[in-house]
Structure 1
Amino acid sequence: METPSERDKHEKERQESIKPYAKYSGLAFQMIGALVLAAFGGKKLDDYFATGKPWFTIALLLLAVVVSMVTIILSINKK
């Protein structure tokens, strides 16, 4: 039979092992959200300015990828 302090210790270890998964899955959803917003905003700008090619969409998607990658790298390096 476990004592309350042993249960607390096991619970704390379990929570510590879950934290990285939650952190990195959150980063993935953040990146997906940034890409979706960039695509939506770029499409709207292309329609508004009646560009023949999707220049705004491409530019905003590239910007979103770069910003997302920088955010992920900074997050990984920060412990």
Structure 2
Amino acid sequence: MTDQEKDDVGKQANNFAKYTGMAFQMLATIGLFTFIGYKIDERQPHNKAIYAALFGFLGVVVSLYWVIRSLTKKRNLNK
């Protein structure tokens, strides 16, 4: 294996770890926000999971913001 091939394999492994970490961060963020909404819904007198849905959507928005910010920051550093 040449040095170039070793570098390519190392970059692929680094990218895999980075993007897998981002996916788990998104999952945790969405799950946490949804759990908070679920707990609020448990204390309310209505039968619908309104807060769980709203907080779940907010979790999606926040996690996408963090991912986009992270990707654009990395791109600007590489220029």
1:30 maps to: 25
Q: Which runs of 5+ in 1 are unaligned?
A: 1-5
How far did 1:27 drift?
0.7
The 4+ residue runs of structure 1 with deviation greater than 2 A are 9-17
Q: Which has the larger radius of gyration?
A: 1
Offset of 1:17 from its aligned partner?
2.8
1:39 aligns with one of 18, 28, 34 = 34
Which residue of the partner structure matches residue 77 of structure 2?
none
CA shift at 1:11, angstroms?
5.5
Partner of residue 75 from structure 1, selected from 40, 57, 70: 70
Mapped to 1, the partners of 2:33 and 2:15 lie a distance apart of: 27
Aligned residues with identical type, % of pairs: 32
TM-score scaled by structure 1? Answer: 0.74
1-side partners of 2:60 and 2:8: how far apart? 34
Deviations 1:2-39 (CA, angstroms, capped at 9, x unpaired): xxxx87x8765543332111111101001111122122
- Measure, in 2, the Cα distance between the counterparts of 1:61 and 1:27: 18
3-state SS in 1 of match to 2:46 = coil
TM-score normalised to structure 2 length: 0.74
CA RMSD of aligned residues (A): 2.1
**Amino acid in the other structure paired with 1:18:** A
Matched residue, 1:3 = none
Deviation at 1:51, TM superposition (A): 2.6
Question: How many pairs does the alignment contain?
Answer: 74
